[in-house]
């Protein structure tokens, strides 16, 4: 039986015919029909929704429910392991204990001599299949760096982008995401994800919980302006940005990089390429993947895509762009959404970094020479 779908802002849509050369083979057409071509039941593009705050409250609550997000209060009790200076930055090696798992390691950075409350950024590291590293992927704390890690940072044009952002006048926090480095479990990600499901939890739910607790700490600092906080990251960091920024209006500016497509793309073409951190049972028929990020509309978003990214199909990346454009248009804030496609493969190179940082300056520093008019009220 086909599911009932809701009429969207663009009217009727027809499911394209699906060939047998998809990830699901002979199951592909059924799965495509089951997912449907119309906006999902909780999509803001659905004509049934007209009041954005009523819609948002319902959609956010359901998304949190499906994530199996832990309901565990936590107050930041952070230990400074070491304070030092490097490359013009004041740095603090930090750790904290969450209600589960080993202690989380983190790094806080700001310019040497910085005064007052700075705009803050939660810089989210990638996945990359490198579970031994977390913070180290996007930071540097000394001149010495291993050849393997240096090779990994080629995704970033050979530099530690979190350091570069801090040098621009930001208070930057980077922490090990759950599953990585100090937060690494004893077995591989598939076993970790399956075991959590057996506990009535989920890996994406723990990812969101961990990232929200890091956000709690960042906004609690006396040297951070809690009203001017953003987040962003490449690949797995882009995935984390989508969920964290979609569910948290405390994130005033969000820039996911190299992680934006549709559920249909993953279902039919790219599932084998992606981490278990992605999958939230039941959510795709309610919200398409870009609409998770769209839960924050009209708060500003800058999506950075690579047009030759092998992790996605270009057509579905473009479809995701259209979906978010419709979400922000219906929210009355088309100018608060920006999406750019850059030539080349999966990366967050120097050109992309400079574009993202300039956009962030326009939002969090009120730089009207930047590309954005500022933060809308919520």
Q: Per-residue DSSP letters for 56-77?
A: HHHHHHHHHHHTT---------
Angle between helical axes of 189-198 and 203-220 (0-180°, round to 10): 90
- The encoded tokens of residue 101 equal 């798992």
Query: In this predicted structure, what is the pLDDT of residue 205?
Result: 98
pLDDT digits (tens, 9 = 90+) for 149-206: 999 999 999 999 999 999 999 999 999 999 999 999 999 999 999 999 999 999 999 9
> Can you name the residues that pair with 8 across neighbouring β-strands?
11, 46
- End-to-end C-alpha distance for the chain, whole angstroms: 41
Query: In this predicted structure, what is the pLDDT of residue 214?
Result: 98
Low-confidence ranges of the chain (pLDDT < 50): 1-14, 368-373
Percent of the chain with pLDDT over 70: 92
Q: Put residue 371 in one of left, alpha, beta given phi > 0 → left and psi -120 to 50 → alpha.
A: alpha
Q: State how far the alpha carbon of 50 is from the alpha carbons of 37, 47, 53, 155, 334, in Å.
A: 21, 7, 9, 41, 16
- The encoded tokens of residue 45 equal 């593009």
Cα(110)–Cα(98) distance, rounded to whole angstroms? Answer: 25
Secondary structure class of 309 (helix, strand, coil): coil
Cα(235)–Cα(272) distance, rounded to whole angstroms? Answer: 15
Q: 3-state secondary structure string, 129-196?
A: CCCCCCHHHCCCCCCCCCHHHHHHHHHHCCCCHHHHHHHCCCEEEEECCCCCHHHCCCCCHHHHHHHH
Determine how β-strand 118-123 pairs with β-strand 104-111. Answer: unpaired
What domains sit in the chain, N to C, each tagged with a CATH number? 79-364 (3.40.50.1820)
Whether the Cβ atoms of residue 179 and residue 196 lie closer than 8 Å to each other: no
Query: In this predicted structure, what is the pLDDT of residue 235?
Result: 98
Whether the Cβ atoms of residue 129 and residue 368 lie closer than 8 Å to each other: no
Cα(73)–Cα(278) distance, rounded to whole angstroms? Answer: 24
Query: In this predicted structure, what is the pLDDT of residue 327?
Result: 98
Q: State how far the alpha carbon of 269 is from the alpha carbons of 196, 221, 224, in Å.
A: 26, 43, 42
CB-based contacts of 285, cutoff 8 Å, min separation 6: 3, 34, 35, 36, 40, 41
CB-based contacts of 366, cutoff 8 Å, min separation 6: 374
Whether the Cβ atoms of residue 58 and residue 51 lie closer than 8 Å to each other: no
Determine how β-strand 104-111 pairs with β-strand 89-96. Answer: antiparallel
Cα(50)–Cα(331) distance, rounded to whole angstroms? Answer: 9
Cα(127)–Cα(277) distance, rounded to whole angstroms? Answer: 9
Predicted TM-score (pTM) of this structure: 0.93
pLDDT digits (tens, 9 = 90+) for 109-140: 999 999 999 999 999 999 999 999 999 999 99
Secondary structure class of 255 (helix, strand, coil): strand
Whether the Cβ atoms of residue 153 and residue 137 lie closer than 8 Å to each other: yes
Q: Nearest CA to 109 among 85, 74, 131, 130?
A: 85
């Amino acid at each position: 039986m086909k599911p009932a779908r809701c009429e969207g802002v663009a009217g009727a849509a027809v499911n394209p015919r699906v060939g047998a050369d998809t990830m699901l083979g002979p199951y592909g057409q059924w799965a495509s029909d089951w997912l449907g071509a119309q906006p999902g039941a909780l999509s803001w593009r659905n004509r049934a929704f007209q009041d954005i705050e009523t819609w948002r409250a319902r959609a956010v609550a359901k998304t949190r429910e499906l994530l199996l997000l832990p309901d565990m209060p936590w107050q930041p009790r952070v230990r400074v392991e070491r304070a030092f200076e490097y490359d013009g930055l004041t740095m603090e090696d930090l750790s904290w204990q969450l209600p589960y798992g080993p202690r989380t390691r983190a790094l806080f950075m700001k310019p040497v001599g910085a005064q007052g409350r700075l705009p803050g950024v939660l810089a989210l590291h990638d996945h990359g299949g490198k579970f031994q590293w977390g913070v180290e992927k996007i930071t540097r704390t000394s001149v010495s760096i291993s050849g393997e890690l240096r090779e990994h940072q080629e995704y970033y044009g050979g530099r530690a982008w979190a350091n570069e952002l801090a040098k621009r006048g930001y208070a930057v926090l980077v922490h090990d995401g759950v599953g990585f480095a100090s937060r690494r479990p004893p077995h591989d990600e598939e076993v970790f994800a399956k075991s959590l499901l057996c506990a009535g939890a989920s890996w994406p739910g723990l990812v969101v919980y961990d990232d929200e607790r890091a956000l709690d700490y960042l906004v609690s600092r006396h040297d951070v302006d809690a009203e001017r906080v953003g987040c962003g990251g490449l690949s797995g960091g882009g995935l984390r940005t989508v969920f964290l920024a979609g569910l948290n209006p405390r994130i005033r500016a969000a820039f996911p990089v190299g992680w934006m497509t549709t559920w249909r793309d993953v279902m039919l073409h790219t599932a084998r390429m992606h981490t278990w951190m992605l999958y939230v049972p039941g959510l795709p028929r309610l919200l398409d993947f870009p609409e998770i990020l769209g839960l924050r509309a009209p708060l500003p978003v800058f999506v950075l895509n690579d047009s030759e990214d092998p992790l996605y199909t270009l057509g579905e990346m473009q479809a995701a762009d259209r979906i978010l454009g419709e979400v922000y248009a219906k929210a009355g804030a088309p100018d608060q959404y920006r999406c750019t496609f850059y030539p080349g493969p999966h990366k967050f190179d120097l050109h992309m970094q400079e574009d993202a940082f300039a956009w962030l300056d326009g939002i969090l520093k009120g730089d009207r020479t930047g590309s954005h008019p500022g933060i809308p009220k919520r």
